[in-house]
Structure 1
Amino acid sequence: MKFEIQSITAQETLPLRQKALWPGHLIEQSMVDGDETALHFGGYLDRKLVCVASLFHEPPGIRLRKFATDPAFQGQGFGSQMLRQLLHEAQATGAKTFWFDARESALPFYQRNGYTPDGERFFKADIPYRRIVRALT
């Protein structure tokens, strides 16, 4: 099986965002401000979209948002491959930092990939999050 990462449209991210991050919500609720100008990536396993992520320019950094892997394909390394590619993409923009808000439930994944939380816990829609920031310079 071959896993490939490529640029996709914001619209192409929505079904997987909804399935993995907000099941039970309307697909429109998976859209975020700035989607129209963000960089969107899809990870395909034998032409099936199994992972999506979006990068938003928020000077002086690049912000990762809506990073989702199909639950049926989690734990197989696809998210880690995507995360490495996203870091490379962020570095290529010349941004000074790469940052994102991670659900606390996903912290073990990010820590296995070399990321550590920065700051205190906060909540979005009753879900606990931690900010992660990585210098790119």
Structure 2
Amino acid sequence: MATELLNGFGKVYLTIDYDQANHWVYNNWIGYQTYTGIISGADACLLPLQQQACAYLLNDNRQVLGPWDHAVEWIVTDWGVRAAAQGLTHFAHVVSPDSLAAQSAKAMLLGLEGRLHLRMFSDMDQAQAWLREAQQQVVNQ
């Protein structure tokens, strides 16, 4: 069952769902993202990752409006450290390529480099294929 987080206006800004068939957590971020909303949402997605012993995150920013540079440093120095420590290894980040959110995602990618396997995609099918390939490599080891 998906978790929905609401902003101050009572609108859903994030849904978090564990996809049992694919064994990954799917985050769908929607609209403008505040610093406190990003912290609450990112922290909330750690719970299903931990509960399911899941190493794979599919983060969808295609519906995000505007940049979220204000939270990149926190994601890199706080959230990313905790996520990796609890077992997250692969992070597929889907964006609209020409969006301001994509620029924020590039900064995050650079900051998390070396800590997680993180790739940015403009196509959901490609992101899912990358996660499946990573899962298959673990199975084949």
**Normalising to structure 1: TM-score of the pair?**
0.42
What is the TM-score normalised by the length of structure 2?
Answer: 0.41
Which structure has the highest helix share of the two?
2
Q: Which has the higher strand share?
A: 1
